């Protein structure tokens, strides 16, 4: 396949796979989720086999939907999961094919299908870790390996979670009906967590040659806007969209022309995406309605403070530290504590920040987290303790990270050794 066609198909799979699976699951039966997933994967495989010889269809999204739908019907017929209803299903094929992605009515139906699928995957009867893994797989189009990196878990463990979640969905007879009231509120926590997982996997890829996976960032922002623009009136959705928009706006300035990572303090802020910044401020203002606060509000406030500043030095660091204090009160996780230490260094100095991260050095969840060692090395450099800083950077290089991050660590190591 040509590079252009291959790139297009990869983009379509990331963007359309969740919508296609949700659409097929609603049309046939969410209990047969595997059938819908296999049909979508089969459509992508067929595209790989036919597009190089016959060219990319005029409407590639519609082509994929049609092939996946026909494949699902064939699989259901072979498996005899439906008997009396198969004629009715087949009869629906012609009118369904007349509607395709891009048609306003069909797009509205797809948005509804996708929302329902996301909330079904977040059903409280499913264990939380299995629910999140399943949502990432279906709604986000992530592989088990990508999910494992996001969870800092083994790939086999993630595969087992997904299998168990699908089995429980099938055995419990869960439907694609939208939750309401308190049940909706409870499921939203999981939905937001999934969307932010997808964004973070794209914003800082945990392995490979690329630091940023723009397709995942765009998909997460799309899903966030799907929730925020629906009739679900929850300020957390607006805060999450604002947070992702602010962070995604920095992407053009995070990598230089040679693919090297540029830290926030060295970024050319004129290269930030100002349309995304405007989107971020618009949804941040929306998120402030009512008196409900959340982790996403605190993180969006931090990102908004950076977006307002001319450079890193002129940022309101006491305000950022205050926001991190609120965030840590809501989520006292080691990663939040590590990020808070960076703000402590800006307000109170590197020595106090080093004291703040000392307890994290014994945290088992961070044993493979290179950023803990990188931050410690950076703080030691500020205190002119080069030998100790070099030791930290050498240890960080032994841990999993992307190639751009590894090259940055080598540059910091060289600086420390000098």
| pLDDT tens profile 294-313 | 999 999 999 999 999 999 88
Q: From 155, 193, 167, 164, select the one nearest 147 (Cα to Cα).
A: 155
Residue 357 shares a structural domain with residue 411: yes
Residue 265 shares a structural domain with residue 302: yes
Per-residue pLDDT tens digits for 6-59: 666 676 776 778 888 888 888 776 666 788 888 888 888 888 888 877 788 888
Range of the domain at 265: 249-323
Long-range contacts of the stretch 73-76 (C-beta < 8 A, 24+)? 73/28, 75/35, 75/38, 75/39, 76/28, 76/32, 76/35
220 is a domain residue: no
Per-residue pLDDT tens digits for 84-112: 454 444 434 434 445 667 677 778 888 88
User: How far apart, in whole angstroms, are the C-alpha atoms of residue 145 and residue 234?
Assistant: 32
Residue 346 shares a structural domain with residue 416: yes
The 10 Å CB-count burial string (b at 16+, else e) for 303-319 is bbbbbeeeeeeebebee
Residue 268 shares a structural domain with residue 302: yes
Residue 355 shares a structural domain with residue 316: no
The answer to whether the CB of 398 falls within 8 A of the CB of 364 is no
DSSP 261: B
Domain boundary among 267, 298, 323: 323
Average pLDDT over residues 324-345: 96
98 is a domain residue: no
Backbone angles phi, psi at 323, to 5 degrees: -65, -40
Backbone angles phi, psi at 97, to 5 degrees: -70, -25
The answer to whether the CB of 223 falls within 8 A of the CB of 198 is yes
188 is a domain residue: no
Using a pLDDT cut of 90, give the percent of the chain over it. Answer: 38
Domain boundary among 295, 323, 351: 323
Query: 156, exposed or middle or buried, with CB in 10 Å at 0-12, 13-18, 19+?
Result: exposed
User: How far apart, in whole angstroms, are the C-alpha atoms of residue 234 and residue 298?
Assistant: 16
Q: What DSSP string runs through 351-366?
A: HHHHHHHGGGGG-GGG
Count up the domains in the chain and report the number: 2
Domain boundary among 262, 292, 323: 323
Structure tokens at 103: 């048609």
265 is a domain residue: yes
Residue 350 shares a structural domain with residue 370: yes
C-alpha atoms less than 13 angstroms from C-alpha of 247 in its C-beta half-sphere = 24
**CATH number, domain at 402?**
1.25.40.10
C-alpha atoms less than 13 angstroms from C-alpha of 17 in its C-beta half-sphere = 28
Residue 418 shares a structural domain with residue 397: yes
Most confidently modeled range among 81-85, 143-147, 201-205: 143-147
Residue 344 shares a structural domain with residue 385: yes
Residue 310 shares a structural domain with residue 343: no
Residue 371 shares a structural domain with residue 412: yes
282 is a domain residue: yes
Q: Residues in the chain, how many?
A: 418
The answer to whether the CB of 161 falls within 8 A of the CB of 103 is no
Average pLDDT over residues 357-361: 94
Residue 418 shares a structural domain with residue 341: yes
Residue 317 shares a structural domain with residue 339: no
407 is a domain residue: yes
The answer to whether the CB of 142 falls within 8 A of the CB of 52 is no
314 is a domain residue: yes
292 is a domain residue: yes
Question: Average per-residue pLDDT in the chain?
Answer: 84
The answer to whether the CB of 174 falls within 8 A of the CB of 119 is no
Q: Could you count the other beta carbons within 10 Å of the beta carbon of residue 218?
A: 18
């Amino acid at each position: 396949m040509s590079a252009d066609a291959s790139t297009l198909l990869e983009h379509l799979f990331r963007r359309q796979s969740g919508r296609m699976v949700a659409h097929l699951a609603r049309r046939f039966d969410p209990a047969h989720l595997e059938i819908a997933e296999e049909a979508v994967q089969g459509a992508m495989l067929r595209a790989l086999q036919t597009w190089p010889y016959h060219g990319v269809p005029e409407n590639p999204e519609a082509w994929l939907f049609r092939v996946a739908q026909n494949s699902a019907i064939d699989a259901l017929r072979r498996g005899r999961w439906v008997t009396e209803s198969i004629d009715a299903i087949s009869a629906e094929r012609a009118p369904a094919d007349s509607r395709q992605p891009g048609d306003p009515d069909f797009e509205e139906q797809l948005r509804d299908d996708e929302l329902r699928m996301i909330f079904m995957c977040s059903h409280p009867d499913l264990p939380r870790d299995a629910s999140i893994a399943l949502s990432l797989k279906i709604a986000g189009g992530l592989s088990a390996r990508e999910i494992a990196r996001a969870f800092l878990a083994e790939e086999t463990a993630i595969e087992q979670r997904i299998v168990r979640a699908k089995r429980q969905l099938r055995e419990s007879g869960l439907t694609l009906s939208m939750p309401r009231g308190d049940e909706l509120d409870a499921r939203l926590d999981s939905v937001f967590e999934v969307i932010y997982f997808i964004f973070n996997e794209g914003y800082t890829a945990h392995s490979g040659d690329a630091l940023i996976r723009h397709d995942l960032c765009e998909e997460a922002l799309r899903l966030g806007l799907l929730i925020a623009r629906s009739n679900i009136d929850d300020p957390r959705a607006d805060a999450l969209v604002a947070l992702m928009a602010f962070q995604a706006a920095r992407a053009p300035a995070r990598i230089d022309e040679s693919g090297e990572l540029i830290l926030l303090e060295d970024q050319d802020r004129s290269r930030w995406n100002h349309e995304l910044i405007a989107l971020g401020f618009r949804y941040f203002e929306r998120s402030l309605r009512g008196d409900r606060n959340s982790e996403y509000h605190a993180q969006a406030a931090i990102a908004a403070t950076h977006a307002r500043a001319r450079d890193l030095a002129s940022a309101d660091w006491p305000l950022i530290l205050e926001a991190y204090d609120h965030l840590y009160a809501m989520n006292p996780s080691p990663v939040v504590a590590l990020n808070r230490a960076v703000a402590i260094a800006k307000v109170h100095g590197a020595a106090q920040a080093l004291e703040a991260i000392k307890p994290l050095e014994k945290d088992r969840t961070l044993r493979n987290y290179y950023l803990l060692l990188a931050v410690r090395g950076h703080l030691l450099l500020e205190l002119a303790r080069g030998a100790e800083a070099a030791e930290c950077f050498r240890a960080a290089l032994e841990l999993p990270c992307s190639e751009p991050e590894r090259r940055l660590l080598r540059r910091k190591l060289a600086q420390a050794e000098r």
